[in-house]
Amino acid sequence: QQQVKQSPQSLIVQKGGISIINCAYENTAFDYFPWYQQFPGKGPALLIAIRPDVSEKKEGRFTISFNKSAKQFSLHIMDSQPGDSATYFCAGGGGTDKLIFGTGTRLQVFP
Amino acid sequence: DGGITQSPKYLFRKEGQNVTLSCEQNLNHDAMYWYRQDPGQGLRLIYYSQIVNDFQKGDIAEGYSVSREKKESFPLTVTSAQKNPTAFYLCASSYTGGYSNQPQHFGDGTRLSIL
């Protein structure tokens, strides 16, 4: 009921390509879906977040797509750059006092 | 500059020793959290505090203890009862407690290793 399943575990993309990371949730009480970006040796930083009243949110090269009926959401990174190489976590929140994180995706963007 | 400060950045523990990890925030947030991060396992919640002088166990509280005597501070003690303490520990905070549908802000972590 509380899980957020994230895939793939790792992703290799060529510079300029599109990176896509997917997450699925079970708890229908969730109403907040953030994505965090983490560089090695650093804490996660909030990248972008969406609430279920919209199906898409875009901030620069980063877009969240949200499908409420399928209980799925995804992060798209357009024109991926080597500086985007990091670990990305999705999460679900709402209806509980704990934010539930996915297991993370390690993205590597090669020049 | 508002943020969360974790110290030390690296910490080594001997067998049978308790160690305390520091977390301080100047964001005026009510809620604070401790997570453990192991490779390939994401973030697992150890303890959280929604308000001063109150805290709750997370999913993996065994072998850990916390206190919340001040709004700004939420130290984590890794006790000798924690048999596998080697991990990256992250502290986070959010504006209010009890509501998970709000941003959490993270510190830069403490890496704990066994000697």
Instruction: List per-residue pLDDT tens for chain B, 115 residues long.
Output: 679 999 999 999 888 899 999 999 999 999 999 999 998 778 999 999 999 999 999 999 999 999 999 999 999 999 998 889 999 999 999 998 777 888 999 999 999 998 8
Whether the CB-CB separation of B46 and B35 falls below 8 Å is answered with yes
- Torsions phi, psi of B29, nearest 5? -85, 145
The residue with tokens 């809620």 is B31
- Alpha-carbon distance B56 to nearest alpha carbon in chain A (angstroms): 10
Q: What is the pLDDT of residue B31?
A: 94
| Any B CB within 8 A of A101 CB | yes
B58 DSSP 8-state letter? -
**Helix, strand and coil in chain B, % to nearest 5:** 0, 50, 50
Residue contact A99–B40, C-beta within 8 A: no
Strands B10-13 and B110-114: parallel
The two counts, helices (H) then strands (E), for chain B are 0, 11
For testing contact with chain B, the best of A9, A46, A47, A101 (most B CBs within 10 A): A101
pLDDT of the residue at A1: 56
The per-residue pLDDT string of chain A (111 residues; one tens digit each, 9 = 90 and over) reads 578 999 999 999 999 999 999 999 999 999 999 999 999 999 999 999 999 999 999 999 999 999 999 999 999 999 999 999 999 999 999 877 789 999 999 999 999
Cβ of B102 under 8 Å from any chain A Cβ?
yes
Check if A31 contacts B (Cβ < 8 Å): yes
pLDDT at residue B15, as a whole number: 84
Residue B1 is predicted with a pLDDT of: 64
Strand partners, A65: A56, A74
Q: How far apart are CA A60 and CA A45, in angstroms?
A: 16
Helix (H) or strand (E) holding B21: strand B19-25
Percentage of chain A with pLDDT > 70? 99
Handedness of CA B55, B56, B57, B59 (dihedral sign): negative
Tell me if B103 and A31 make a contact (CB, 8 A cut-off): no
